[in-house]
Amino acid sequence: MELGSIRTKIEQELSSVKDLSSLNQFRIAILGRKGLFSELIERLKSLDKEERRNYGREINELKLWAEEKVEELKTHFEMEEKRRKELASWIDVTMPGAIPIVGRSHPLTQTLEEIVKIFTSLGFSVAEGPDIEYDYYNFEALNIPKDHPARDMQDTFYVRPGVVLRTHTSPVQIRTMESHLPPVKIIAPGAVYRCDNDISHTPMFHQVEGLMVDKHIRFSDLKGILTVFIHEMFGEKTPLRFRPSYFPFTEPSAEVDIGCVICQGSGCRVCKNTGWLEILGSGMVHPQVFRIVGYDPEEITGFAFGMGVERIAMLKFGIDDIRQFYYNDMRFLSQF
């Protein structure tokens, strides 16, 4: 074949090569071991010496030219490929980001933190005691005799004889007074356990105990502190009342009710049509309790109170099933 027309043919074919892989195919067909040029060189063998030299030189030149063309195109396609990759990985910094789900405190933690904040602002410090408690601290030292209904097997989880899961935070009163002389002004938040499970009871729930002991502490101090607490917690206008009650470790004792936060006192299902909701137990520390911890009840007086954190959270947030706090359902939790 005429070398001039081979050159034209190569040029034509090269112009239709559009990417690296077709360029590679082309290179193999033209410059490969069994390609066009190998074939042309093979044909030289049949020529005589003079012709072979001239023709051979021309073929070589043409081959060098073709190699150069292929190399040029290769660089071109490689640059193109690189640019395409750069474009694909380009980041648009003006695009709105994906907003991560932000965690938050559990509603019970929020409620507990608020209770603690109110009392610490009133000068109370935070004390703690063990969840697994001696019968002595949970009952005996709190003036709860052996045959008291609160010791019923139905209510108390017994760990072993003489050891229980505390049924209230009141044992922290005893532990604190045993190790501190008056004045004592503490709150004691923590988990408590009772063998109970329904829409308004879980086997584990939380209480905050309060204890203020000194010379000359009176029932009016109890009323004052709890009134401030309730107004801070439920709002300035929340009505409250102290209703006579009984606890073995306080005398006199009172339960505190607040005006129903659901119906504002007009009567509803939540307050059982009374217009009032019980929120805590309280009273003046019983002289017998003082004697047990070695305080002189002739000289020292004080008050104590205990409230359920779940109950307060339910009233504050309008939740009607206590078990909601423990399902860990995100649809519930994300509302707080």
In the complex, the residues that contact ligand PHE under the rule CB under 6 A are 168, 170, 209, 247, 250, 281-283, 304-306
The nearest distance, CB 147 to ligand PHE, in angstroms, is 18
| Identity of the residue, 36 or 222, whose beta carbon is nearer to ligand PHE in the bound complex | 222
| Identity of the residue, 1 or 126, whose beta carbon is nearer to ligand PHE in the bound complex | 126
Token pair in block for residue 229: 């607490």
- Torsion from C-alpha of 46, 51, 56, 58, nearest 10 degrees: -140
The nearest distance, CB 308 to ligand PHE, in angstroms, is 8
The nearest distance, CB 305 to ligand PHE, in angstroms, is 5
| Identity of the residue, 305 or 325, whose beta carbon is nearer to ligand PHE in the bound complex | 305
Is there a contact between 261 and 315 (Cβ–Cβ < 8 Å)? yes
> Could you please report the per-residue DSSP string of 53-104?
HHHHHHHHHHHHHHHHHHHHHHHHHHHHHHHHHHHHT---TTSPPPPPPPP-
The nearest distance, CB 170 to ligand PHE, in angstroms, is 4
CA distance 299 to 293: 14
> Could you please report the per-residue DSSP string of 243-286?
EEEEETTEEEEEEEEEE-TTTTTS--TTTTTSSEEEEEEEEEEP
| Identity of the residue, 116 or 333, whose beta carbon is nearer to ligand PHE in the bound complex | 116
The size of the chain, in residues, is: 336
| Identity of the residue, 77 or 290, whose beta carbon is nearer to ligand PHE in the bound complex | 290
**Closest residue by beta carbon to ligand PHE:** 306
CA distance 306 to 129: 14
| Identity of the residue, 182 or 190, whose beta carbon is nearer to ligand PHE in the bound complex | 190
The nearest distance, CB 237 to ligand PHE, in angstroms, is 26
Strands 184-193, 125-126: pairing kind: parallel
The nearest distance, CB 103 to ligand PHE, in angstroms, is 32
